[in-house]
Amino acid sequence: MAATWLKDAVFYEIYPQSFYDTNGDGIGDINGITEKLDYIRSLGCNALWINPCYDSPFKDAGYDVRDYKKVAPRYGTNEDIYRLFEEAHKKGVKVLLDLVPGHTSEEHPWFRESQKAEENEYSDRFIWTDFCFKGAPGFPYVGGESERSGCYILNFFKCQPALNYGFLNVTEPWQKSINSPAAMATREAIKDVMRFWLSHGCDGFRVDMAASLVKNDDEKKSGTSAIWKDVRRMLDLEFPEAAMVAEWSDPPLALRAGYDMDFCLNHPGGGYSTLMRDYYNHVYGEDPDKNNEDHSYFKKDAGGNINRFLDQYMAWYEDTKDVGYMSLITCNHDTLRPSYNLDERELKLAYATIFTFPGVPFLYYGDEIGMKYQELPSKEGGYYRTGSRTPMQWKKGDNLGFSTADAEKLYLPVDSAEDAPTVEMQENDKDSLLNTVRSILELRHNEEDLKADALLVPVCTEPDKPFVYKRGELLCAVYPAGESTEVDLGCAISGEVIFKIGDASFADGKLCMAAQSFAVIRTK
């Protein structure tokens, strides 16, 4: 692991267009992030992940990059982000930018050159078939829009042509190998982008669709992994404290490919999604009857089972604990906010668990106050995700403190509900969700046994009993059920409760927990 600072890192994810608007145009900006650094630090977050802030047509909220080395004018200037890096570092905050290596915008100059009939430096920077009426079986592709005779492969939306990193298994004459000059040129171009931002003060990258680079890759992603290992060698040599977190959700592959961290994301019917929101029963569910069910673990008396999460997590953990970190999230820009189905007490239990687990956790902006998911029309390719990208709610009043612009000019509307949560509302309430987040993160920073690399050992995983896990000399216990319980852990030790939500006690190996409670116990 290259980045030693990750051991005590807690990230705050910011969707820049929705965080804080300092120039009154209705869109959040880089200076807004700089202005709120003290707030971010007060949460206990000492690192940022900023969603794409590069120049873009914004057909996919900035994940369609038009210029990798230029801040989008809607957010400010390159000098603004250089200043953000500088001010963040003064306050002990690291900053990751969002790297989009698998594709560009169709308006990127590289792609415009690649579309030309006359061969040039960028002709093979993207993946083209060799005839205008020859498609690319097995891949999404577009034809008929270019001067060049050929169809080009997409990496996601129609506006995102896939960059050419080569094919591990070449099956067509138009496919290039991963060691071809064209594929190597693409690899070097992305490394050049990374060097640019790192040399200006960025601390690393969250990498979008990290597993998507090499086409016709094998099951172990050998081709894509080889590219990231090459990138890691560059980082270790030139920027040894730079960190990378993968949007891969396969830690055994991602961490061995050179990443410091990999997200544990959504796996319908099992995995991390079963903790916060049973995805199979909502967004991805096909059975209308099941859409009314919710067996998320933290939901009160919902019949959730921690083992639906642990079975996968612990297998990954045991395989990778000496290789890198797994990252749990409260939510992100692609998921429904956890308040969609969890109430404030359930959120407290969920966050307390996430922030006492090993690895490097991520808090999505606004989750600390329980911002609500909004049912909204799609904006910039957001579709159902748009409702999780609404403006941050700072205080009561116009636009909830996000912007001085007229309401109709806002990037997205703010929550119009009378009880819309705000930072101001929760600041002075010691029992608020905001201050619960602050308390548990303060404990995490103060306790060596709660750091990213401290060992995790499950102690009690029986259904209908508290989930108890050991972190070094600390015992952590969470109990989402609606009635109190007692469990004998089979050890003749006692302990001091050093943090709790609800009520809990521990003596002579017996753990007593009130309904919907959480506790951290220092054993004696």
**pLDDT tens readout for residues 10-43:** 999 999 999 999 999 999 999 999 999 999 999 9
Give kind and range of the element (H or E) at residue 350.
helix 344-354
pLDDT at 304: 87
Please tell me the distance from the alpha carbon of residue 15 to that of residue 18, in angstroms, as a whole number: 6
Bridge partners for 457 per DSSP: 470
Classify domain 4-104+184-448 at the CATH class level. Answer: alpha beta
Domain ranges of the chain: 4-104+184-448, 105-162, 455-523
Instruction: Confirm whether 4-104+184-448 and 105-162 share one CATH topology.
Output: no
DSSP 220-256: T-HHHHHHHHHHHHHHHHH-TT-EEEES-S-HHHHHH
pLDDT at 278: 67
Per-residue pLDDT reduced to its tens digit, 460-508 = 999 899 999 999 999 999 999 999 999 999 877 889 999 999 999 999 8
**54 neighbors 68 (Cβ within 8 angstroms):** yes
DSSP 351-383: HHHHTTSSS--EEETTGGGTPPP------TT-G
pLDDT at 283: 46
**134 neighbors 122 (Cβ within 8 angstroms):** no
41-66 exposure pattern, b = at least 16 Cβ within 10 A, e = fewer:
eebbbbbbbbbbbbbbbbbbbbbbbb
* Structure-token match 């429904």, residue found: 336
pLDDT at 267: 63
The tokens describing 501, both together, are 């939500």
Helix (H) and strand (E) counts for the chain? 12, 22
Please tell me the distance from the alpha carbon of residue 415 to that of residue 407, in angstroms, as a whole number: 11
440: three-class secondary structure by DSSP: helix
Reported for 318-324, long-range contacts at CB under 8 A and 24+ positions apart, including other chains, are 319/251, 319/252, 320/251, 320/252, 320/255, 320/256, 321/358, 321/453, 321/455, 321/456, 323/1, 323/255, 323/256, 324/1, 324/251, 324/254, 324/255, 324/259, 324/260, 324/261, 324/262
341: three-class secondary structure by DSSP: coil
pLDDT at 281: 47
Fold of 105-162: Oligo-1,6-glucosidase; domain 2 (3.90.400)
For the entire predicted model, the pTM comes to 0.96
**154 neighbors 126 (Cβ within 8 angstroms):** no
**Do strands 141-142 and 152-153 pair parallel, antiparallel, or not at all (unpaired)?**
antiparallel
Mark the ranges of the chain whose per-residue pLDDT is less than 50.
281-286
Q: What is the CATH number of domain 455-523?
A: 2.60.40.1180
> Taking the CB of residue 10, how many other CB atoms lie within 10 A of it?
19
